[in-house]
Every structure is written in structure tokens, then in C-alpha cells.
A = this chain, B = another copy of it.
Amino acid sequence: MEGADKFIPTPAIVIDAAVVRRNLDAMAAYTATHHLKLRPHTKTHKSVKVGRMQVERGAVGLTVAKSGEAQVMAAAASDLLMAYPAVDPQRCMQLAELTRTRTVRVAIDSALAADTLSSAARAAGSFIGVLVDLDVGHHRTGAQSPEDALRLAQHISKMSGLRLDGLLCFPGHIGGAPESQKPALLALDALLDEVIGLWRTSGLDAPIVSGGSTPTAFRSHLVRNLTEIRPGTYVYNDLNCVRGGCATLDDCAARVVSTVVSTAVPGQVVLDAGTKTLTSDRCGPAPDSGHGYIIEHPEAKVFKLFEEHAQVDVRECATQPKVGDRVTLVPNHICPCINLMDRVWWHEPGEAPTPLPVDARGKVS
């Protein structure tokens, strides 16, 4: 850890601002080159400041998962997409309220969601844009066939207060090295062709076709039907991105600074970063990879976490960490780690880190 961070209480997440800007610039340049719109998912940073940096670089809007997050991110963007089914009347009312001052869209996969949104929009005297969520192979949510998608689109197109704006998909099933993704992405494009064609013959249009995730982001141009992408993790990256081949360790902007609090047990040290800092999320592409990568001790293995302790096997380490030492970890999955902190530390090159509030933290509904 650099000297500037020495007096931050640990455990802490320190964000390298220069790396964030580089990550944002790279995605902005890629989408501009390929005439794709960018609507970054804010679940990773949950920060109004970082949301604004994305909008300043040309993002057409911001994506959220919850209506509470939409309310927070309204401070950063005039255009918000909730890529999550709004089903509760209360959630729909919050979104409808927001349409008074912002463009608001929601992705849904059920008639009940459409009906509830329509009621809320009518009560607020406003319009909510709706994207039909299409399952393209991830099998989590989404209409199961082109016919199902058409049926839902037709239902939405007839409801007052709703505006059918297009399609949304999440290609979360496409992972692995970016260069290996081509066949799956072309199959996705063919499916979108079919759905959009069916809509056209039924007189319906899909001006927005929203896709994208960080692992597939830089291959999105292969899916020619997409009009926009919604990557989230790319802003900070993590060990999942590195092991999955879509980022390098140098691209990981957010790191956990932790203190060695015990070296009593031979061959092991204990850090003050447990699951209440690093979470129990495993590294997807490498299930026995442990709980993060320690920059100063690449041979160390974070083999077990408790709520406030990390047990680290240091038997292979060139130098042995001492009690009181600080170490820097790249976590397996950065999004839920940020979500545990009231504030992280924003580190501009050559300056002392300053607190950055995690504005949308705790907006669970």
C-alpha cells in the first residue's frame, strides 16, 4: 500500500481514480466506435459521482436494479433503466413518481408487472417505458420464446400509461475468454432477429434492444441487433474479471486494504477483512481460488473467511507478513464488497484519499 493510504482505518476499499477513468474511457471509446449506446449498470459503484463520470463520457443513461437506487441515481442522469422486474405496487409507484422529472424505463417478463406499472403510471399521470425481458439462455428471468415475448409486447402496447420501448436481454450464460464467445453471440443475434421480425410483422417496433454484461461487453458489436449495452463491473473490475479474461490486475481499480491482526498460528496470518468486507462470493471461473488476491504476497492463499477474519496460508510466501502490516487485496467480486461500505476511499494520483459515499447502499427495495 502506498504511503498516502497509511492512516485510513482498515479494512477499507481504496479506489484508484486514474484506473477508473481509464476503464470508463475504454468502454466509452468502444461503444462510440461501434455506434452502440452505453447505459452502465450502477450496481457496482452505487455512487452519484461515478454515475456522473459515466454520463459525462457519453452514457445515454444509467441502469439500476431497485427503485430506491433509481431515486438516488436521478441525481446523476436524466434517463434511468430499471433492469429488474417491478412487481410490487410500492416499487411501481416510486418509479411512476420519478417519471415526472426523468425518463424511466423498466424491464419486465409478466403481465402482472405490466398491469401494476400501468396502474401506477395512470395514478401519477405519467408514462413509463417498458422493455420486454427476453431469456436468451441464462434462464433466470425473461420471456421463454419469441411467441411469449410477442404476446407480452402486445399486452404492454395496449396498456395506458405504458410505452413499449423494445427488448432487454442479459447474456449472463456467455462467459469464458472474450475470443471464445463468438458462436454464442451470433446465436443470440439470430434469436433477436427472430423476435424483432415477429414484432415487425405484428406492427410493433423495438427501438431499444438492450444487452451486455462486463464479460461480453467488448464483443457486443457481434450482436448486430443490439442498440445498447449495460455493463457494470467494468468500472472497477475484480478477480472474476481477471480470471475470466476480460480484465488484467492493473484494471482492478478497487482494492481492499487490510491489516494483519494475528500471526499466532504457524504458517498462517489473519487479516481484519472477513465476509463482512470481502463477502463469501467465490471466484466463478476458479472455484478453489480462495477469497482474493494479495498484491504484496502473490504466493499467499486466503483460504478461509469468518465474519471479521481472513485466514491466509503464507507458507509459500517469499516474505512473511508481520502483525500490524497492511496488505492490499483484489477481491473475487467487487460489487457486493462496495455494497458493504458506507463509504470507500477515492484516490487521485499524488493526493491523499478522500471519502466517497456509497450513495445507493442500503436501497434494498
Is A33 in contact with chain B by the CB < 8 A criterion? no
Closest to A68 in B: B9
Instruction: Enumerate chain B residues within 8 angstroms of A259, measured Cβ to Cβ.
Output: 87-88
- Whether A262 pairs with B341 at a CB distance below 8 angstroms is no
- Whether A277 pairs with B364 at a CB distance below 8 angstroms is yes
Taken together as a complex, chains A and B put the C-alpha atoms of A164 and B340 apart, in Å, by 35
Enumerate A117-141 residues with CB–CB distance to B below 8 Å.
Answer: 133, 135, 139-141
Closest to A44 in B: B307
State the 10 A-B residue pairs at the shortest beta-carbon distance, nearest first: A9-B365, A280-B280, A342-B362, A141-B262, A85-B261, A109-B264, A65-B308, A112-B323, A110-B323, A280-B281
Enumerate A36-83 residues with CB–CB distance to B below 8 Å.
Answer: 43, 65-66
Excluding A140-B265, A144-B264, 17 further A-B contacts by CB distance (< 8 Å) are A9-B88, A10-B88, A12-B365, A84-B272, A85-B261, A85-B270, A87-B260, A88-B324, A135-B264, A140-B309, A141-B264, A141-B265, A275-B281, A277-B364, A279-B280, A280-B280, A340-B362
Q: List 29 A-B contacts (CB under 8 A).
A: A9-B91, A9-B365, A11-B365, A12-B365, A43-B307, A43-B308, A66-B308, A85-B270, A87-B272, A87-B323, A87-B324, A110-B263, A110-B264, A113-B323, A116-B324, A141-B262, A141-B270, A141-B309, A142-B262, A142-B265, A144-B264, A144-B266, A172-B306, A272-B365, A276-B339, A307-B336, A340-B364, A341-B362, A341-B364
Quick one: copies of this chain in the complex? Answer: 2
A175 to chain B minimum Cβ distance, whole angstroms, is 14
Given contact pairs A144-B264, A264-B110, A11 touches B85 in the complex (Cβ within 8 A): no
Given contact pairs A259-B87, A307-B43, A275 touches B265 in the complex (Cβ within 8 A): no
Is A219 in contact with chain B by the CB < 8 A criterion? no
- Whether A335 pairs with B323 at a CB distance below 8 angstroms is no
Is A311 in contact with chain B by the CB < 8 A criterion? yes
Taken together as a complex, chains A and B put the C-alpha atoms of A261 and B265 apart, in Å, by 47
Is A224 in contact with chain B by the CB < 8 A criterion? no
**Size bracket, chain A contacts:** 35 or more
The chain A residues found within 8 Å of chain B, CB to CB, are: 7, 9-12, 43, 65-66, 84-85, 87-88, 90-91, 109-110, 112-113, 116, 133, 135, 139-144, 148, 172, 259-266, 268, 270, 272, 275-277, 279-282, 306-309, 311, 323-324, 335-336, 339-342, 362, 364-365
Taken together as a complex, chains A and B put the C-alpha atoms of A129 and B307 apart, in Å, by 24
Instruction: Enumerate chain B residues within 8 angstroms of A335, measured Cβ to Cβ.
Output: 307
A92 to chain B minimum Cβ distance, whole angstroms, is 11
A262 to chain B minimum Cβ distance, whole angstroms, is 4
Instruction: Enumerate chain B residues within 8 angstroms of A362, measured Cβ to Cβ.
Output: 340-342
Instruction: Enumerate chain B residues within 8 angstroms of A263, measured Cβ to Cβ.
Output: 110
A120 to chain B minimum Cβ distance, whole angstroms, is 14
Instruction: Enumerate chain B residues within 8 angstroms of A91, measured Cβ to Cβ.
Output: 9
Instruction: Enumerate chain B residues within 8 angstroms of A12, measured Cβ to Cβ.
Output: 364-365
A109 to chain B minimum Cβ distance, whole angstroms, is 5
Instruction: Enumerate chain B residues within 8 angstroms of A110, measured Cβ to Cβ.
Output: 262-264, 323
Instruction: Enumerate chain B residues within 8 angstroms of A275, measured Cβ to Cβ.
Output: 279, 281, 336
A50 to chain B minimum Cβ distance, whole angstroms, is 17
